[in-house]
Amino acid sequence: MLLILFWIFPSNGVQIANMELNFISKEDFQKQKLIKEIPAEIPPPIIINYDSINKVKKQIQDSLENELKLEKKRLKEAIIISEKNIQYPNNDPSILISFFKKLEKAKFKKVRIMHYGDSQIEGDRISGRLRERLQNEFGGNGAGLFAVLPATRKISINNTPSKNWVRKTGFGPYIDKKINHKKYGALFSFCTMNPDSLSIDSNFIYNGEINIKRPTKSYKLCRNFNLLKIFYSNSENTILRLLINDSVFHTDTLLNTEEIKLKQLEFSKGPKEFTLQFSSNSSPTIYGISLEGNKGVVVDNIPLRGASGTEFSKVDFNSLSQMQKLLSTDLFILEFGGNTIPYIKSRERAFKYGNYFKKQILKLKKINPKAMFIIIGPADMAKKQKTEFITYPILEDVISALKKAAFETNSCFWDMYINMGGENSIQKWVLEQPSLAARDYIHFTNRGAKKIADFFIEDFMRDYKNYLNQKK
């Protein structure tokens, strides 16, 4: 039927009235048939390579983790840079302005800095470098305060007491339980004489002496002095003799007093060597001797071996106040924390320590409300873990606690740990050639002490110069 229609139906269609009828041509029909007969192409099956997907996924994850580590590193480096400087509560450097004003006038008036710390400052190493640079800048001389019988020798002092002197300490395991009071003064110790059969004067049963020579290994400026100060109390009058070249240069008296008093001798220029002789029917209590100038900067080095910095509330308040009044300290530098780190096991305990340390600052502020304070956190310290030395995990928490205590008492803070290089930096200091830290991975060598002191004084002097520039 279709074939008949293909033949008889005109190719151009049929016109009926207004309509035109068309029928598919034979050629078009055959084309459509051919198209229908060609089978459709079947797409290949999709094969999912899960190994490749996982590989790409891991690559993306590793990339993100690396970027996160880099970002953390960049952030940490930025924090380190900002925290290397002296830090102020509320970022307010004006806190030290009153002290900077005193430094401006130091060439005409004395400025006193007391550097308290643990064994890290023993031997006057850090304090000595600080003293030398400040005295070079602002004037002053002398080694400052020291004990008749020190716990350790100082490079800045060459003193030899007679053998009948004894030292009593008011902190740590060294406390003499036979002492029924806590009057230890600013050095947290005092010295007395035992009776000596080899009397200088047969009328007295207590006789002792202290030979003081100019040190040869110290920084230059501390070797000279103009003032000799003796801080004492006494149950009976004591004869004091000053000998130079084995001849009596001066004779004086330490008066009977329960309070801590000051005996002061002035020189146009301090002698290279002299001897102090004490004679009495009872031993005087010597709380300290100071060699200093009558103007410029004085820096006292007061190391408290094994101390945590919480000792200020454990000694007699009145005796500490009496001696501090005589000393008239302008700036306290408190460098503690290292001795607590091996024993603190949690963040909570670290901040309890910080709160207790805060009370010590407040006590000193009560004694000397005009004094400024800079708190120095501990250095990096490491403990052995298997075959390696690693930084104590709690160390940064202790530093944070001390910084909090500083800021809450309107005190400044300097981060020794950050300035060393932060975590695991003590290892690098030990391995330096020559070494900057000892093999105990705690204490500095002399070279390391000098380096860390220079870091601090450079930050300090930069802030002082900023203060001067802002005045212009």
Categorize the per-residue pLDDT at 83 as very low, low, confident or very high, splitting at 50, 70 and 90.
Answer: confident
Q: For residues 292 and 137, what is the distance between their CA atoms, to the nearest angstrom? A: 16
Pairwise CA distance, residues 310 & 353, whole Å: 9
pLDDT for the residue numbered 61: 84
State the chain's mean pLDDT as an integer: 89
Collapsed DSSP state (helix, strand, coil) of residue 80: helix
**Residue 323 pLDDT:** 97
Angstrom CA distances, 49 to 276, 338, 389, stand at 93, 57, 46
Distance set, CA 247 to CA 24, 199, 273, 308, 328 (Å): 146, 17, 12, 45, 33
User: Which of 209 and 80 is assigned the larger pLDDT?
Assistant: 209
The per-residue DSSP string of 170-202 comes to SSGGGB-TT------TTTTEEEEE---SS-SST
Hey, how many other C-beta atoms are within 10 angstroms of the C-beta on 69?
A: 10
What average pLDDT score do residues 381-389 get?
A: 89
Percentage of residues of the chain with pLDDT beyond 90: 72
Question: Can you tell me whether residue 146 is helix, strand or coil?
Answer: strand
**Is 190 in a helix, a strand, or coil?**
strand
Chain position carrying tokens 């509560």: 89
Residue 209's closest CA among 154, 163, 152, 256? Answer: 163
The sign of the CA dihedral 349, 355, 359, 365 is positive
Residue 10, pLDDT score: 62
pLDDT grade for 175, boundaries at 50, 70 and 90: confident
pLDDT at 63: 84
pTM of the predicted model, to two decimals?
Answer: 0.83
Distance CA 284, CA 260 (A): 11
pLDDT value of position 73: 66
Give the DSSP H or E segment for 5: helix 2-8
| Cα–Cα distance measured from residue 449 to residue 126, given in angstroms and rounded to the nearest whole number | 5
Q: Please name the residue that has the structure tokens 């030899």.
A: 160
- Determine the average pLDDT of the residues in 413-438: 96
Q: What is the CA radius of gyration of the chain?
A: 40
Instruction: Determine the Cα–Cα distance for residues 257 and 240; give it in Å rounded to an integer.
Output: 15
Cα–Cα distance, 439 to 384 (Å, whole number):
11
The first and second tokens of residue 200, run together, are: 């200088």
- For the chain, give me the number of helices (H) and strands (E)? 11, 20
- Model pLDDT for residues 210-245, shown as the tens digit of each residue: 999 999 888 888 999 999 999 999 999 999 999 999
Strand ranges across the sheet with 412-414: 296-303, 110-117, 331-335, 372-376, 412-414
How many CB atoms are closer than 10 A to CB 111? 24
Over the range 381-404, which residues count as b (16 or more CB within 10 Å of their CB) and which as e?
Answer: bbeeeeeebebbebbbbbbebbbb
Strand-pair partners of 191: 167, 286
Residue 209 and residue 276: Cα distance in Å, rounded? 5
In contact, 340 and 122? CB cutoff 8 Å:
no
Average pLDDT over residues 25-40: 56
Residue 35 has a CB neighbour count (10 Å cut-off) of 8
Mean pLDDT across 364-386: 95
Question: Which residue has better confidence, 47 or 107?
Answer: 107
Q: Hey, what domains does the chain have and what are their CATH numbers? A: 96-471 (3.40.50.1110)
The encoded tokens of residue 255 equal 């008066």
